[in-house]
Amino acid sequence: QRPAAPPLRLRGIALHFGGLRAIDGLDLVLRPGEVHGLIGPNGSGKTTTLNVISGYYQPQQGSLALGEAPLAMGRPESRAGQGIARTFQTPRIIGEATVLQNVMIGGTVAGHATFAEAMLWLPRQAADEARLEADARLALQAVGLEALAGFRADRLQHSELRFVEIARALMLRPAYLLLDEPAAGLSAEEIRRLGQLIREISAHGTGVLLVEHHADLIFDICGHVTVLNLGRVLAEGRPAEVRAHKEVISAYLGA
């Protein structure tokens, strides 16, 4: 993994869809090596926040910075170039390709850079094909799926595809990894493995943003938790501090 990235800071982020304020003045700090949980009821702005950090949405107000360096708005590819990787709520996988090929895509420059950058880096990329494959096998090993490398991806179960997506994101050796409900549809045993994997990833220095409904997983593995409600921070702090807030629990449960 990359050594000690600077903190990733969101300041005063506001994003509205028409008249609806999905995020309303959000401050958030992600730190290297820390698992940061983002929780809140449906519609509270969690996925929108993740989309802002990964560059898929452009906020109307506020700023994002990696250390002192502002992040350019509206360019998911350049976010990947800065070491910010993500997974999706519904895994985005090429069914006709093998599991290994799907993971290798995460490490190809063309998959992430602008066209101009891809042209400049293409020769190196071709020469590195073998290395890319070796890296992909290591990433699959990290998520415990090396035995499935040669399978067509559409033969895998949904839960396995979630781990394939994480392997693909690891190919970037991300400074920050954004996970959008990775535990959805997983069995209790798979969630335990997922928690262990996220711990290992953060122990290597990657900062993780975990958007998740599964409260046990959040409180179990996060060093910091932010609770959103109506696009604003309702509470934040260490898991024990956040748990102590009565209003947090009721908002989280939607009561």
Residues in contact with ligand ADP by the rule CB under 6 A:
17, 20, 22, 40, 42-48
* CB 1, min distance to ligand ADP, A: 27
For ligand ADP, give the closer residue by CB, 5 or 209.
Answer: 209
For ligand ADP, give the closer residue by CB, 232 or 243.
Answer: 232
* CB 131, min distance to ligand ADP, A: 37
For ligand ADP, give the closer residue by CB, 137 or 232.
Answer: 232
* CB 229, min distance to ligand ADP, A: 9
Contact (CB, 8 A) for 250 and 238: no
* CB 120, min distance to ligand ADP, A: 33
User: For residue 85, which phi and psi values (nearest 5 degrees)?
Assistant: -115, 160
Contact (CB, 8 A) for 178 and 85: yes
* CB 247, min distance to ligand ADP, A: 17
For ligand ADP, give the closer residue by CB, 70 or 254.
Answer: 254
* CB 27, min distance to ligand ADP, A: 17
Q: What is the 3-state secondary structure (H, E, C) of the chain?
A: CCCCCCCEEEEEEEEEECCEEEEEEEEEEECCCCEEEEECCCCCCHHHHHHHHCCCCCCCEEEEEECCEECCCCCHHHHHHCCEEECCCCCCCCCCCEHHHHHHHCCCHHHCCCHHHHHHHHHHHHHCHHHHHHHHHHHHHHCCCHHHCCCEHHHCCHHHHHHHHHHHHHCCCCCEEEEECCCCCCCHHHHHHHHHHHHHHHHCCCEEEEECCCHHHHHHHCCEEEEEECCEEEEEECHHHHHHCHHHHHHHCCC
User: For residue 26, which phi and psi values (nearest 5 degrees)?
Assistant: -100, 130
For ligand ADP, give the closer residue by CB, 38 or 109.
Answer: 38
* CB 48, min distance to ligand ADP, A: 3
For ligand ADP, give the closer residue by CB, 1 or 48.
Answer: 48
For ligand ADP, give the closer residue by CB, 200 or 247.
Answer: 247
